[in-house]
Amino acid sequence: MKILVVSDTHSSLRNFMRVVDKEHPDKIFHLGDAQGKEREIQTIAGVPVTIVKGNCDNDISLPTTIVEEIGKHRAFLTHGDCYGVGSELYDLDRAIDAAKSENCDMLFFGHTHVPILDLGYKGMVIMNPGSLTSPRQSSGKYTYGILNIFENGEVESALKALE
């Protein structure tokens, strides 16, 4: 199974559509700031989509966090603003504590528009896919994450840039 992880699309779906066409995911995690495009994202995707509320989202029906089973793992999905996330690993302690309180060993968040992938900080797999609309890292590239879940339950994580 392949999961596409995106965040901070900010009502622009052009790059989102390009990534879906390129990657052909089986499922999508959107980590917030879709800004009213949630239904369009689900229609475009054609696969199950899990979306959490970001600080720029007005849909109060969206949850701020969701826990998902991914193979042998439990993943904590959040936009991150309510946990004060930043662009450095040491800025993630509140989010990590919240994830661990839900017995999760994976943390996925957005908000900063800066991609992060760390496979062991404080015993967690941590991913911020960056942004497909307004990246803030020095490369300026549009980024997203991919999770490959194998039959044995193991998960392979990667960050990718849209070319």
Q: pLDDT (tens digit, 9 = 90+) per residue, 136-162?
A: 999 999 999 999 999 999 999 999 999
Sheet holding 27-30: strands in order across?
Answer: 49-51, 27-30, 2-6, 143-149, 155-161
Write down the pLDDT at residue 87. Answer: 85
Q: What is the CATH number of domain 2-161?
A: 3.60.21.10
Confidence of residue 100 (pLDDT cuts 50, 70, 90): very high
pTM of the shown model: 0.96
pLDDT at 130 over 90: yes
pLDDT digits (tens, 9 = 90+) for 53-74: 999 999 999 999 999 999 999 9
Report which DSSP code applies to 27: E
Structural domain spans, the chain? 2-161
DSSP letters along 74-130, please? EEEEE-SGGGT--SSGGGGHHHHHHHHHTT-SEEE--SS---EEES-GGG-EEEE--
